[in-house]
Amino acid sequence: MSKDTKNQSGAAIVMQGITKNFPGGVIANDAVDFELQVGEIHGLLGENGAGKTTLMNILYGLYQPDGGTIRVFGQPAVFGSPADAIRSGIGMVHQHFRLVSDMTVTENVVLGLRSSKGFLTDTSSADTRISALAEQHGLQVDPKAQIWQLAVGQRQRVEILKALYRDARILILDEPTSVLAPSEVKDFFKSLRGLRESGISIVLITHKLDEVMDVTERVTVLRKGRKVATQPTGSVNQESLAHMMIDEAIPPVANKVTAAAHDVVLQVTNLRVFDDREIEALRGISLEVRKGEILGIAGVSGNGQRELVEALVGLRKPASGSIAVTGRDVTGRAPRAIIDLGVAYVPENRTEDASIADFRIDENLILKDFNKTPVCGMLASKIPTFLNDREIRSRAEQAVAQFGIRATGISAKARSLSGGNLQRLILARELSGSPMLIVVSQPTRGLDVAATEYVRSLLIQQRNHGAAVLLVDEDLAELIALSDRIAVMYKGETVGLLEPGQSSSEEIGLLMTGAKRMAAAA
Amino acid sequence: MARLKVTAKLDVSRRSILIITFLAYVVSPLVVLGVLAAAGKSPLVALDALYRGTIGTAAGFAETIVQGTPLMLMALGLAIAYRGKVWNIGAEGQQIFGAILVTWFVLLFLKNPLPAYVMIPVGLLLSFVGGALFATVPALMKSRLGINEIITTIMMTYVAVEALNWLVRGPFQDKTIPGSYPESPIFPPETALPILVRNTSVTIGIIISVALCILAYYFLFKTPLGYSIRAVGFNPSAARTSGIPVKRVINSAMILSGALAGLGGGIYILGVTHELLPEQASGIGYTAVVVSLLGNLHPLGVIFSSLFFGGLVSGMSSVERALQIPRTLSLLSQGIIIVLILIIQVLARYEIKRA
């Protein structure tokens, strides 16, 4: 890869001996050294909880280290806040965007900056400069568009433009591809390479090995808060990186027993559903999930998958059509009624929809049956009385042990859990009581390798025990590995239904992008 | 100059919150003594008066309880609502409406009252129901129509205050007194809450209030409905996804908080004033907002914060008399104390370090 455009050489960032302790005895960073060269893309690799984000939050001034030094372009730096880091030319794009959705791109970009017009925002000159920056770096976005109108990929560009507008010479990107569809990732990497060519130094936080191989010059691997190694990407491969990232053997995916034809558990007929903007998101979709099978739903995000899932679990009222679970019509019923029929739901957004950050682990585990025996005492076996603390505690202890939830105890708040442990908690709750139908959305998004394998094996296990699973997943490789059949969604319709053995990623890719449509689909 | 850095603690132990809250309650009145000293008054005399007006004498202590009791129930109701992120600001209107309903009932039996064991329980029950009914309006407006409850509860309070002003000058007015004072007839003795401590105004109201606080603790933390309220308050989206009927929970929290405010108004009228006065609208329902926050929105914390506030009112009026200071200075001091405590309580969740 040509690096002759590097007109400056030397280190953009040198972090030495960075140590950060969190309350509760967690050492997030233990004497970590990190160096970023000018004009390189540097992969920062590690499992969830390895300390990647903590290290970069320290660099960005969000956290103050308990030990260690930072030099930026050779100058010693102490950052009390992101404002200090930004002044030193550092910009960070967080995994969760920090944009105001009712404001325009320009308003978001200039937010917090001094305006040449005093109290008034100088939008016209900002518009011009943003357009120029976007043009220069291949980050096309309409400066006058409001954020809520933009797709996720475009919002990401706005975040990057925000940093560039503040003259960032160093960009920290925290798992930037986790929100992107596979097709968007390619374009995104192209922009990254372009940024590098113009002399921007980039830290790419990720736990995806192929991305590291694809786009970085060097890679630093962290494990459990310590640095394992920094290597030129040319001298490593995916296997050696995986080996550096995790020291424990990954449990193999449980053997998949071929499903026999079984009874239909979920029957969706001609379902039509509108999205939040009153646009028809599902246009007469029909599908069925049988006992003991995983039906995968493939599709580029935004083609109606979310509305389908929400309609199935009772969170969104269908306009027409029907949903039946084991023959019982549940169209338009409330979530409670659907849950009571044995439908489990593992939502895409774990912190927003599936857990309560300020509740303890044990409290989160009873979220769905806190008013049922034996969690709750009953008067005349009908009227709920008091919560049974002993039952709640023993249940939590069992779940923590069985699902390997790593926490300081069952009284730890859910907000203290890492992504993987939170997903384990959610699965522990949803899979208890052997559900008949499990609706799962993006079950391994953002999880580390060990947690990913664990979640996959749990889903297979449930299927082998006879549960029907509806799996919405943008990770195509995972979808193909787990699903018995795959339905492909495009613009609110199923454009293909692939039986076992039929599913190749090329085929699915063509269907997903609308390039092809199967006659039998319906 | 050393730069200080304030960061949120990830986890705050219950013990450290308790200790810091306790310290806040002790330290902030001392600051006020400094204010009085700055105004040229002897802080020692003030301290002595404060002591005698609160826990130093039986009379002071009794007055503390009398002042704190109605606040306790109103603040308790608000604490429950706020746990569910239902921002009821209308405890004032709810307690007034509770008192109005009690008055209506008592006036029906003004000449021939039923025995006390009927008049008092029915009266209190009606105040409870009155507060609940009055809170049902903003509850339904929020859950059915999505109208912000802060606005509706405040507007409803205006309705209650004006209704009160009209009633004491109209249908409820005592026509037997010449000069037409805006007040209802004095209630018959059968309606007066039994006195708990002889020669004081301390009634069984304090027992009812403390008992309800303890019950509310179990309600909030050990029953399914309490759990739902807290779940909805922390994360309505996850609550809804888990099958919790969010709107019904919001209604319950609002109506329950109104009911407790109404009962507070009922205990006030049957225990302290024994007649409906325009002063029933004293702003106590707004004070309860502060008291619920001072109690960390915890039912047991509310017991202490409301008694503390009762002590503040009683103690400061004793200071007023001892130092001959104007009422405004005393109110100013109360304000400083409250702001200090709230600041310390927030800071307890942060740590301050040198950057």
CB contact under 8 A, A416 and B239: no
Q: How many CB atoms lie under 10 A from the CB of residue A38? A: 18
Q: Does the distance separating the beta carbons of A354 and B241 come in below 8 Å?
A: yes
DSSP state of A67: E
**Residue B230 sits at the chain A interface (C-beta within 8 Å):** yes
Cβ neighbours of A335 in B, within 8 Å: 240-243
C-alpha to C-alpha distance for A135 and A156, rounded to whole angstroms:
15
Shortest alpha-carbon distance between residue A366 and chain B (Å): 10
- Non-local CB neighbours of A188 within 8 Å, separated by 6+ positions: A153, A156, A176, A177, A180
Task: Report yes or no: B228 at the A interface, CB cutoff 8 Å.
Answer: yes
* A contacts of B218 (beta carbons < 8 Å): 386
**pLDDT at residue A55, rounded to an integer:** 94
Tell me, yes or no, if A61 comes closer than 8 A to chain B by beta carbon. no
Q: What is the mean pLDDT of residues A61-66?
A: 91
Average pLDDT over residues A284-288: 93
- Residue A481: what residue type? A
- The span from the CA of B60 to the CA of B304, in Å, is 16
Structure tokens at B232: 């909805």
Question: What is the H or E stretch that residue B106 is in?
Answer: helix B91-108
| A6: DSSP letter | -
H/E/C letters for each residue in A265-282? EEEEEEEEEECCCCCEEE
The mean pLDDT of chain A is 86
DSSP string, A149-199: GS-HHHHHHHHHHHHHHTT-SEEEEESGGGGS-HHHHHHHHHHHHHHHHTT
Contact A80 B5 (CB under 8 A): yes
Contact between chains at B242 and A367 (C-beta distance less than 8 A): yes
A413 touches chain B (CB under 8 A): yes
Residue B41 is which amino acid? Answer: K
Q: State the DSSP H helix or E strand holding residue B60, giving kind and residue range, or none if neither.
A: helix B58-83
Q: How many CB atoms lie within 10 A of CB B283?
A: 11
> CA of A441: how far to CAs of A155, A371, A452, B229, in Å?
22, 26, 13, 27
pLDDT tens digits, one per residue of B295-306: 989 999 999 999
Residue contact A368–B243, C-beta within 8 A: yes
**Distance to chain B for A19, nearest Cα, Å:** 16
Q: Does A83 touch chain B (CB under 8 A)?
A: no
Which pLDDT score, from 0 to 100, does residue A249 have?
41
pLDDT at residue A272, as a whole number: 96
pLDDT given at position B324:
87
**A20, A371, A376: which to substitute to probe chain B, counting the most B Cβ within 10 Å?**
A371
Mean pLDDT throughout A246-252?
47
What is the number of alpha carbons within 13 Å of residue A379 lying toward its C-beta?
6
**Alpha-carbon distance B242 to nearest alpha carbon in chain A (angstroms):** 5
Q: Please state which of the ranges A116-120, A344-348, A492-496, B15-19 shows the lowest mean pLDDT.
A: A116-120
Which of B227, B239, B240 lies at the smallest CB-CB distance from A387?
B227
Query: Helix B246-268 crosses helix B224-234 at what angle (to 10 degrees)?
Result: 110
Name the percent of chain A lying above pLDDT 70: 89
> Per-residue pLDDT averaged across A331-341, rounded?
94
Q: Which residues of B touch A358 (CB under 8 A)?
A: 234-235
**CB–CB contact B224 A376 (8 Å):** yes
What pLDDT shows up at residue A260? 56
DSSP string across B299-341: HHHHHHHHHHHHHHHHHHHHHHHHHT--HHHHHHHHHHHHHHH
**How many Å lie between the alpha carbon of A383 and the closest alpha carbon of chain B?**
11
**Is residue B227 within 8 angstroms of chain A, CB to CB?**
yes
Residues of A in contact with B238 (CB under 8 A): 352-356, 367
Q: Which of A24, A78, A354 sits opposite B238 (nearest CB)?
A: A354
Name the H helices within B115-235: 116-145, 149-169, 205-222, 224-234
d(CA A293, CA A286): 17
CA A394 vs. chain centroid, Å, equals 31
pLDDT band at B67; cut points 50, 70, 90: very high
Is the pLDDT score of B233 beyond 90?
Answer: yes
Name the closest residue on chain B to residue A430, using Cα atoms: B242
Burial B23-58 (b: 16+ CB within 10 A, else e): ebbeebbeebbebbeeeebebeebbebbebbbeeee
Check residue B197 and give its pLDDT. Answer: 86
Tokens of B83: 């746990």
In sequence order, the 6+-apart residues with CB closer than 8 A to the CB of A203 are A13, A36, A42, A44, A56, A59, A170, A171, A172, A173
CB contact under 8 A, A347 and B241: yes
- The two tokens of residue A453 are 């394998």
Out of A67-76, A238-247, A455-464, least confident range: A238-247
Alpha-carbon distance of B182 to B277, in angstroms, equals 7
Helices then strands (H, E): number in chain A?
A: 17, 22
Tokens of A273: 């559903």
8 Å CB contact of A335 and B3: no
- Please report which helix (H) or strand (E) contains residue A464, including its range: helix A449-464
ipTM: 0.86
pLDDT of res. A261? 57
Q: For A201-254, give the DSSP string.
A: EEEEEE--HHHHHHH-SEEEEEETTEEEEEEEGGG--HHHHHHHH--SPPPPPP
Partners of residue A14 on adjacent β-strands? A35, A71
Question: Lowest-pLDDT range, A258-267, A360-369, A511-520, B126-135?
Answer: A511-520
CA–CA dist A93, A75 (Å, integer): 23
Mutate to test the interface with A, among B12, B85, B242 (most CBs of A within 10 A): B242
Residue B27 C-beta-side C-alpha neighbours within 13 Å: 13
Q: How far apart are CA A186 and CA A26, in angstroms?
A: 36
What distance in Å separates the CA atoms of residue A148 and residue A397, rounded to the nearest whole number? Answer: 42
Judge: B10–A22 Cβ closer than 8 Å, yes or no. yes
Cross-chain residue pair A356–B234, CB shorter than 8 Å: yes
User: In this complex, is the C-beta atom of B248 within 8 Å of any C-beta atom belonging to chain A?
Assistant: no
The pLDDT tens digits for A119-170 are: 777 778 888 889 998 888 888 888 888 888 887 788 889 999 999 999 999 9
CA angle B194, B198, B199 (to 5 degrees): 110
Please list the residues that pair with A498 across neighbouring strands: A486
What angle separates helix A182-197 from helix A152-165, to the nearest 10 degrees? 20
Q: Residue A35 in contact with residue A230, Cβ under 8 Å?
A: yes
B3 close to A (CB below 8 A): yes
What does the pLDDT look like over B142-168, one tens digit per residue?
Answer: 999 999 999 999 999 999 999 999 999
Alpha-carbon distances of B288 from B95, B159, B232, rounded to whole Å: 11, 19, 23
pLDDT of residue A445: 82
Mean pLDDT of chain B: 90
Task: Reply yes or no on whether the pLDDT at A442 is more than 50.
Answer: yes
Q: Set out the domains of chain A in order of their start, with CATH numbers.
A: 11-245 (3.40.50.300), 263-342+437-442+467-522 (3.40.50.300), 346-434 (no CATH)
Kindly report which listed range (A55-64, B36-45, B67-76, B225-234) carries the lowest average pLDDT score. Answer: B36-45
Q: Which of A28, A90, A35, A95 is nearest to A65 (CA)?
A: A28
Is the CB of A339 inside 8 Å of chain B's CB atoms?
Answer: yes
pLDDT at A514: 67
- Under an 8 A CB cutoff, do B224 and A24 touch? no
CB contact (8 A) between residue B355 and residue A64 = yes
B174's tokens: 């005592």
Distance separating alpha carbons of residues B89 and B82, to the nearest angstrom: 10
A269 touches chain B (CB under 8 A): no
Nearest CA in chain B to A372: B224
- Best-predicted range by mean pLDDT (A55-59, A126-130, A301-305): A55-59
Cβ distance of B243 and A339 shorter than 8 Å: yes
What is the maximal distance between C-alpha atoms in chain B? 76
- pLDDT in the model for residue A120: 72
**Chain A neighbours among B 255-284 (CB < 8 Å)?**
none
Each residue's pLDDT tens digit, B85-104? 999 999 999 999 999 999 99
Least confident of A316-320, A419-423, B26-30: B26-30
Chain A, 414-473: which have a CB under 8 Å from a chain B CB? 415-416
If one compares B312 and A300, the residue with the highest pLDDT of the two is: B312
Rounded average pLDDT over A32-48: 90
Q: Cβ B10–A384 below 8 Å, yes or no?
A: no
Chain A contact for B16 (CB, 8 A cutoff): no
Report whether pLDDT(A205) > 60.
Answer: yes
User: How many angstroms separate the CA of residue B255 from the nearest CA in chain A?
Assistant: 20
Name the residue facing B241 among A78, A335, A385 (closest C-beta): A335
Extents of the domains making up chain B: 69-309
B355 near A CB under 8 A: yes
Q: Residue A273 in contact with residue A307, Cβ under 8 Å?
A: yes
Nearest CA among A182, A198, A358, A374 for reference residue B11: A358
Rounded to 5°, angle at Cα B25 from B22 and B26: 90
**pLDDT, average across residues A421-440:** 94
- Interchain contact, A352 vs B218, CB within 8 Å: no
Read off the pLDDT band of A251 (50, 70, 90).
Answer: very low
Helical ranges in A343-404 per DSSP H: 350-353, 361-365, 389-403
User: What are the chain A neighbours of B349 within 8 Å (beta carbons)?
Assistant: none
Compute the radius of gyration of chain A from its Cα atoms: 25
Report the chain A residue with the minimal C-alpha distance to residue B11.
A23
The per-residue pLDDT for A186 is 84
What pLDDT shows up at residue A521? 44
Distances (CA, A) of A491 to A42, A116, A281, A303: 37, 45, 7, 5
Taking the mean position of all CA atoms in its chain, how far away is CA A455? 14
Strand, helix or coil for residue B149: helix
Helices and strands per DSSP (H, E), number in chain B = 13, 2
Whether A3 shows a pLDDT value over 60: the answer reads: no
CA A308/CA A266 separation, integer angstroms:
13
Confidence grade of residue A515 (pLDDT, cut at 50, 70, 90) = low
Q: SS3 of A352, please?
A: helix
CA B177 to chain A, closest CA, distance in angstroms equals 52
For residue B67, the surrounding DSSP H or E stretch is helix B58-83
Answer whether B237 touches A (CB < 8 Å). yes
- The yes-or-no verdict on residue A250 having pLDDT over 50 is no
Instruction: Report whether pLDDT(A35) > 90.
Output: yes
pLDDT confidence of residue A487: 93
| B354 and chain A in contact, CB less than 8 A | no
Give the separation between CA A269 and CA A287, rounded to whole angstroms: 7
- Look at B227 and A339 and tell me if their CB atoms are within 8 Å: no
Considering only CB atoms, which chain B residues are within 8 Å of A416? 10-11
Q: What is the pLDDT of residue A34?
A: 95
pLDDT of residue A247: 56
Place B219 in a pLDDT band, splitting at 50, 70 and 90: very high
Q: Which residue of B has its CA nearest to A314?
A: B241
Gap between the Cα atoms of A363 and A415, Å rounded? 12
Task: Answer yes or no: are the C-beta atoms of A108 and A99 closer than 8 Å.
Answer: yes
Distance, CA of A417 to CA of B280 (rounded, Å): 50
pLDDT at A227 over 60: yes
Report CB contact under 8 Å: B242, A339: yes
